[in-house]
A and B are shown apart, each in its own frame.
Chain A
């Protein structure tokens, strides 16, 4: 997985590196050729200057015919030399060769231009040489300079390209971040991203339209749930008042009394089911405020206090290990309370007498988590999968309640971006872990 920006930059860099490699491979050859030509030109030029010097002053300053047959001159470092000697051949010579020369007892290889000419019927050989070493050195210098220059150009080019792609892809980055931040389409940032790249404008517009669409559908669905719930609550209310009034009649037959209470119980089940659905719909449509700041430890302490009489009565040991605490902001305290309460109460229902329930709070590295584990009968794989779904098969043994409590807990956790996970082995117990978001503020 590579980001587009990196991909583009890498491609840029790669093409440049290929160009550079090609250049480096070909450079010695090219530079060698150019250098050699330059040297040869140089030698020819020197020859011409020598010839014109000789034609001006005659051969005498160089070769005094009686005493010696040759003249030689070289610079101190023996990089170049010029020699003049008498020769006896009929043919005219004019060629360049590579040959070793012995100068002051040191053998040095030169590139030599040999040229013959006649002065007063005497044939002379002019040799102009440049040491191969100096030629190679010059070549190296040129190569180094060029290499540095090349690297510099590629570097500047790469940086410029990188920055440009960064700037040009910035809107895409913004769109990506917008999408990444959104946990709910209702919270999508609809302000258009500023760019003049038509593709991005198009993308941004399409996304906004899509979010808006999803939003409307969501809202419609939630409105329906909320409205249906409200419509249902009024008749429930009427029935409840009627039954309660009947119950208040003096000297009611015991049997009738019990039956009315039965009906009230059933009615209550309906009521709490409606209320639970309403609660979930309201949480999901963000109708609950998130304005409280509080300590999580305090809340779980309250939950434990609330549960303790129950667990005691059921013969279950409730162990509190509140090691660490965090303070959270922008949360809904009563919802968080409800979330923990639902889980702990679920554990009490599913743990046999003599069992244990452990509530722990712990901070590890930067993560704060609350764990609730029990020694109950645990869950099968299938049960685990369906655990947080709204209408999972109700376990008849687990007593009263609509079985929607865990779904509520999950909805509350999602609302607060708390990660909730379950660990369970059949026969060994169940462990719920609430992982709070990295920062203590939501």
Chain B
């Protein structure tokens, strides 16, 4: 995948690019609207991460321009401007998703993957976790073909951890993914701990789940057994 990061805050663009490269995604950065406009005209990108608050350009104009040039790129809008109109306008103009600053890098990756799966019509394959089997399409978890009864939140949590397997996810990252930003203030590390506790209880009732690890002082991680 080839991604263009349009972000005037250079150190942020640098961090995003570093992270995406570690995920084996090709990245280029542009810090002004003009630079971005030139790059979009010349190169083909799969994804454009667009900060609409550019100093020299209205980000939404860039989106319009790219659409006119028949660019196939998927757009994810990034902004510190949480205004609803911006979000609506961006999505109306054909942006594929929207992220408010500050966001978690893993969240950005998961959005990119979700858009890519939609775009290329990739079916989510089932994932096996020891004796457990996660049927992503059907949103079900089974253990030796017996269904584990999970709530929507518990499934979402597990799925997010599975998608980011091998990485430690902090409680805050998990929280934001599940609850979004609307309940930002009420963030309570307890929320995630309670749900993980319940999730573990349900899993262990079927079979041991050593692959769901607590990383002390940091968060949780899933190590998919080879």
Bound together? yes
B191 touches A310 (CB 8 A): yes
Interfacial residues of chain B within 69-107, with CB under 8 A of chain A in the complex:
80-85, 101-106
Which residues from chain B contact A342 at a C-beta distance below 8 Å?
A: 185-186
Q: Which of A93-101, A154-162, A269-277 contacts B (4 or more CB under 8 A)?
A: A269-277
B15 touches A242 (CB 8 A): yes
Does A381 touch B at the CB level, under 8 Å?
no
Interfacial residues of chain A within 260-282, with CB under 8 A of chain B in the complex:
260-262, 264-265, 268, 271-272, 275-276, 278-279, 282
Q: Which residue of B22, B81, B182, B217 contacts A257 across the interface (Cβ within 8 Å)?
A: B217
Q: Which residue of B168, B184, B187, B195 contacts A247 across the interface (Cβ within 8 Å)?
A: B168
Which residues from chain B contact A272 at a C-beta distance below 8 Å?
A: 184-185, 187
In the bound complex, CA of A310 to CA of B151 (Å): 14
A400 touches B195 (CB 8 A): no
In the bound complex, CA of A271 to CA of B190 (Å): 18
Does B55 touch A at the CB level, under 8 Å?
no
In the bound complex, CA of A257 to CA of B101 (Å): 23
The distance from the CB of A248 to the nearest CB of chain B, in whole angstroms, is 6
The distance from the CB of B40 to the nearest CB of chain A, in whole angstroms, is 23
A287 touches B182 (CB 8 A): no
Q: Contacts A244-B105, A245-B18, A257-B218 given: A238-B12 contact, CB under 8 Å?
A: yes
Q: Which residue of A237, A239, A399 contacts B188 across the interface (Cβ within 8 Å)?
A: A399
Most buried by A among B151, B172, B219: B172
A268 touches B187 (CB 8 A): yes
B185 touches A402 (CB 8 A): yes
B185 touches A401 (CB 8 A): yes
Interfacial residues of chain B within 141-196, with CB under 8 A of chain A in the complex:
151, 153, 167-168, 170, 172-173, 181-191, 194-195
Does A200 touch B at the CB level, under 8 Å?
no
In the bound complex, CA of A261 to CA of B169 (Å): 10
Q: Would you give the 0/1 interface string for B2-25, flagging 1 where the beta carbon is closer than 8 Å to chain A?
A: 000000010110011011001000
Residue of B nearest to A255 (CB): B217
A275 touches B184 (CB 8 A): yes
Interfacial residues of chain A within 123-182, with CB under 8 A of chain B in the complex:
none
Which residues from chain B contact A288 at a C-beta distance below 8 Å?
A: 84
Q: Which residue of A248, A254, A337 contacts B19 across the interface (Cβ within 8 Å)?
A: A248
Does B215 touch A at the CB level, under 8 Å?
yes
Interfacial residues of chain A within 373-412, with CB under 8 A of chain B in the complex:
399-402, 404-405, 408
Which residues from chain A contact B34 at a C-beta distance below 8 Å?
A: none
Interface residue SS majority, chain A: helix
Which residues from chain B contact A265 at a C-beta distance below 8 Å?
A: 172, 189
Which residues from chain A contact B104 at a C-beta distance below 8 Å?
A: 240, 244
In the bound complex, CA of A296 to CA of B80 (Å): 31
Does A338 touch B at the CB level, under 8 Å?
yes
Number of interface residues of B (CB under 8 A): 48
Which residues from chain B contact A258 at a C-beta distance below 8 Å?
A: 216-218
Residue of B nearest to A265 (CB): B172
Which residues from chain A contact B217 at a C-beta distance below 8 Å?
A: 254, 257-258, 261-262
B188 touches A401 (CB 8 A): yes
Does A234 touch B at the CB level, under 8 Å?
yes
The distance from the CB of A234 to the nearest CB of chain B, in whole angstroms, is 5
Interfacial residues of chain A within 210-250, with CB under 8 A of chain B in the complex:
230, 233-234, 236-242, 244-245, 247-248
Interfacial residues of chain A within 43-62, with CB under 8 A of chain B in the complex:
none
B170 touches A313 (CB 8 A): no
Does A368 touch B at the CB level, under 8 Å?
no
Q: Contacts A236-B102, A244-B104 given: A278-B172 contact, CB under 8 Å?
A: no
Q: Which residue of B82, B153, B170 contacts A264 across the interface (Cβ within 8 Å)?
A: B170
Does B117 touch A at the CB level, under 8 Å?
no
Which residues from chain A contact B84 at a C-beta distance below 8 Å?
A: 287-289
B82 touches A238 (CB 8 A): no
Q: Which residue of B18, B170, B172, B181 contacts A275 across the interface (Cβ within 8 Å)?
A: B181
Which residues from chain B contact A279 at a C-beta distance below 8 Å?
A: 184
Residue of B nearest to A332 (CB): B84
In the bound complex, CA of A405 to CA of B217 (Å): 26
Q: Which residue of A254, A276, A287, A399 contacts B185 across the interface (Cβ within 8 Å)?
A: A276
In the bound complex, CA of A303 to CA of B19 (Å): 36
A337 touches B15 (CB 8 A): no
A341 touches B15 (CB 8 A): no
In the bound complex, CA of A420 to CA of B195 (Å): 31
A310 touches B182 (CB 8 A): no
A237 touches B12 (CB 8 A): yes
Does A345 touch B at the CB level, under 8 Å?
yes
Q: Which residue of A240, A245, A287, A310 contacts B102 across the interface (Cβ within 8 Å)?
A: A240
In the bound complex, CA of A239 to CA of B22 (Å): 18
In the bound complex, CA of A276 to CA of B82 (Å): 12
B80 touches A400 (CB 8 A): no
Does B197 touch A at the CB level, under 8 Å?
yes
Q: Would you give the 0/1 interface string for B99-123, flagging 1 where the beta carbon is closer than 8 Å to chain A?
A: 0011111100000000000000000
B186 touches A254 (CB 8 A): no
A405 touches B185 (CB 8 A): yes
Which residues from chain B contact A192 at a C-beta distance below 8 Å?
A: none
Does B204 touch A at the CB level, under 8 Å?
no
Q: List 20 A-B contacts (CB under 8 A).
A: A234-B101, A238-B12, A238-B15, A240-B104, A241-B19, A241-B102, A244-B15, A245-B18, A257-B168, A261-B170, A261-B218, A278-B82, A282-B82, A289-B84, A310-B188, A337-B182, A345-B186, A349-B188, A400-B190, A405-B186
**Which B residues lie at the A interface, using CB under 8 A?**
9, 11-12, 15-16, 18-19, 22, 53, 80-85, 101-106, 151, 153, 167-168, 170, 172-173, 181-191, 194-195, 197-198, 215-219
Q: Beyond A260-B218, A400-B188: 11 further Cβ-contacts under 8 Å? A: A233-B80, A233-B101, A241-B105, A242-B11, A244-B104, A258-B216, A258-B218, A272-B187, A288-B84, A289-B84, A404-B185
